[in-house]
Amino acid sequence: MSRGSGKGLSLKDKLDGNELDLSLCDLNEVPVRELAALPKATILDLSCNNLISLPSDFCSLMHLVKLDLSKNRLQQLPLDFGRLVNLQHLDLLNNRLVTLPVSFAQLKNLKWLDLKDNPLDPVLAKVAGDCLDEKQCKQAAVKVLQHMKAIQSEQDRQRQRKLQAEREMEKKREAEQRAKEAQERELRKREKAEEKERRRREYDAQKAAKQEMEKKTKKETVHTRKPASSSRPPQPPRHKPSWSRSVLRVLLFVLFCILCTLAACKLTELQHQPVCVSVNTLYEDVVAALQNHKMLQNMLQHNSQ
């Protein structure tokens, strides 16, 4: 194990029983892999080196019972430092620590602790005390563990409150979402009902208009076939004149022509003309024939009525 990296130096040569002394080796990092291969080394001395931090896998060395990290330049301990549950003696004298990780509360077997000559948080420094003798260092271990357990409990409560608040917020969001979905369903239901009512009104209106049209058409048909009023006397159809009226018109026209001719032959100087003599004779014969023709007289009488 070479100086600085920790490689090239045989750890077995440094091992004395269950104690491994790596102090004053000018180490910049901890040879965790080599240390893990020596579970027999329950006492580890890393004091008086140049360690600024400990790697996270350092906390896998759970076989450690006594650990000396004094007189280094450690600014913080790994967050899961509490995994070293078998640790009973911990020396952190003369480092650059300000706080301890919350997992420190899990070191339930810790019985000795030295935190002197660190720029600790004032509250933590007051709890830790001076550790000037064995009794004070043991009291420091007990008080610091209690203090860290209190911090851990408070953080657990805060975490629980946060989780509870998040659950309540989630429930509130779910309730709002359900209310929103219910409102949307009610809106769609109302719109559907309104659309159905509108279509029903349109259908009724179309049906009424159709019935009105049929009624109007039927009424017009009845008016065409029957008199408009029962109180008015029946009148002959105007669009279909009878054949007798047509014959009468022809006869009247012929009669008119004959009368004009007779008038000309009887009242003018033309009465002595051969044509007028023939016309006068024919007139007298026709008058005599008409007087004897009763059927034509009846027809003329009927038409005159």
CA nearest neighbour of 38 among 18, 54, 23: 18
Confidence of residue 7 (pLDDT cuts 50, 70, 90): very low
What mean pLDDT do residues 288-301 have?
65
pLDDT for residue 98 is more than 80: yes
Average pLDDT over residues 83-107: 96
pLDDT reported for residue 110: 97
pTM, whole model, 2 decimals? 0.56
Neighbours of 266 (CB within 10 A): 13
Q: Which of 174, 118, 179, 173 is nearest to 144 (CA)?
A: 118
The pLDDT tens digits for 120-142 are 999 999 999 988 999 999 999 99
The domain ranges of the chain are: 12-155
The per-residue pLDDT for 240 is: 52
pLDDT beyond 70 at 1: no
Sign, Cα dihedral of 5, 8, 9, 10: positive
Domain 12-155 has CATH 3.80.10.10: yes
- Nearest alpha-carbon partner for 84 in 49, 35, 51: 35
Asked whether the beta carbons of 261 and 249 are under 8 A apart, the reply is: no
The whole-angstrom separation of Cα 244 and Cα 222 is 29
pLDDT beyond 90 at 102: yes
Residue 134: phi, psi to the nearest 5?
A: -60, -45
pLDDT value of residue 88 = 97
Q: What mean pLDDT do residues 75-85 have?
A: 95
What is the band of 247 on the pLDDT scale with cuts at 50, 70, 90?
confident
Question: Which of 105, 107, 83 lies closest to 154 in space, CA to CA?
Answer: 105
Rounded distance between C-alpha atoms, residue 68 and residue 305, angstroms: 153
What tokens appear for 153 in the block?
């409990």
Residue bearing the bigger pLDDT, 157 or 262: 157
- Is residue 57 a contact partner of residue 34, using CB atoms and an 8 Å limit? no
Indicate the length of the chain as a whole number.
305
The CA distance from 72 to 68, in Å, is: 10
Q: Which of 69-83, 111-125, 222-236, 271-285 has the lowest mean pLDDT?
A: 222-236
**In 3D, which of 10, 161, 144 has the Cα closest to residue 81?**
144
